[in-house]
Structure 1
């Protein structure tokens, strides 16, 4: 089945201090699907996410989000994108509600049900408690709430379940699946927890030394690798053979 692209990356290059950290990278994320981006530490996952969001300027290549060049239509495009990159940062002395109100004001968005969004991510009855008193898991939940509160079409999440307990991980898994099925979102997500990526993703992308070396339907992995995603992932990062259709 052919899917329309939400994200298309072609020949992407990013250099820092004359060193290429992203090398001739190509990526295609189809609309209405969950794309799991995997790689070892330092492979370039977070850098790619920052490039997609316009937080970093690419050295070469092209990034299209919903068929628009991010360098040309950045402000317009980002209104339809939600993200959580690395550890989310908040106004520590303010409550969750106040933090989300500031975020919405910054985006020029009104009439959004903040309490409903907090409930969706499992932050019930927190009242005026300042974020400085939040646990790591609560901060992650608030970061996800901030990413989805404006009902984006594309959600980019870097290690979104970091700090969550098993119950929280399961709740987030169900939330992500619900966002795709009921709210027509596309999700691009990275995680070190391969079992979680395996449960939520439709497509897997594997990045090695700054370049995506394989994009594959999860169904193919389940068919060809008895031990699932973990076996496949290590076969790729350790220099194993890619699947040939």
Structure 2
């Protein structure tokens, strides 16, 4: 895909307790695409997402988001990024509406239709019900609402369908596709549900032991692997293909 890069990572390294958890990692996410990041537990997906958001700092390497360095232009970049990382945290005693209102105030953003955004993610008619009474699926929907309410250019979603039932999963799939097609967003998403990544992604990145070992268009996988993404993924992680072509 010949698009402008939304995310460009080069030579990224991160250590925890003198152990290298991200090693010489390179990644390119094209603008206007959905990039599905796959890997087994502990491969480094969440750590990369946290570094993209400036929550964790690399010890080496370079991160650019829409051409800007996250270490230099973090505040400017984050105004154009929405995210769900791990389990969303909310003000438990407040309503969904109030939680989003506080989030917008923190970001210095006004004139956003909070009720419309809640409707988009399927949180209709919840009134003043406190978040403490929400199910896991409702919390996840609210987390997605918070990630998109300021109309970001980039969405970084770590296991965004966690806790959703099959109807909710399908609704979120359609929402993500709509955000890309109609609102010119770019999405970087991880999930353990390979079928969902297969439904929405344009490009697949596979991370092993802190390093992206493969970036490939989904259309290529579908052409060369009869059983699709699952067959391809396991051919990589089981040692069938260890390096980029």
Alpha-carbon deviations, 1:62-97, whole Å to 9, x = none?
000000100000000000000000000000000000
> What does residue 3 of structure 1 align with?
3
Using the alignment, how far apart are the partners of 2:9 and 2:139 within structure 1? 31
> What does residue 234 of structure 1 align with?
234
Displacement of 1:241 in angstroms is 2.2
> What does residue 76 of structure 1 align with?
76
SS at match of 1:35: strand
> What does residue 38 of structure 1 align with?
38
Name structure 1 gaps, 5 residues minimum.
Answer: none
Using the alignment, how far apart are the partners of 1:129 and 1:103 within structure 2? 18
> What does residue 192 of structure 2 align with?
192
SS at match of 2:240: coil
Using the alignment, how far apart are the partners of 1:197 and 1:165 within structure 2? 16
> What does residue 109 of structure 1 align with?
109
Alpha-carbon deviations, 1:143-181, whole Å to 9, x = none?
000000000000000000000000000000000000000
> What does residue 29 of structure 1 align with?
29
Displacement of 1:244 in angstroms is 7.3
Q: How many residues align?
A: 245
Q: TM-score, normalised by structure 1?
A: 0.99
Name structure 2 gaps, 5 residues minimum.
Answer: none
> What does residue 67 of structure 2 align with?
67
Displacement of 1:39 in angstroms is 0.2
> What does residue 183 of structure 2 align with?
183
The 5 Å alignment of 1:85-234 reads 85-234=85-234
Displacement of 1:3 in angstroms is 1.0
> C-alpha root-mean-square deviation of aligned residues, in Å?
1.0
Displacement of 1:60 in angstroms is 0.4
Using the alignment, how far apart are the partners of 2:142 and 2:157 within structure 1? 13
SS at match of 2:72: helix
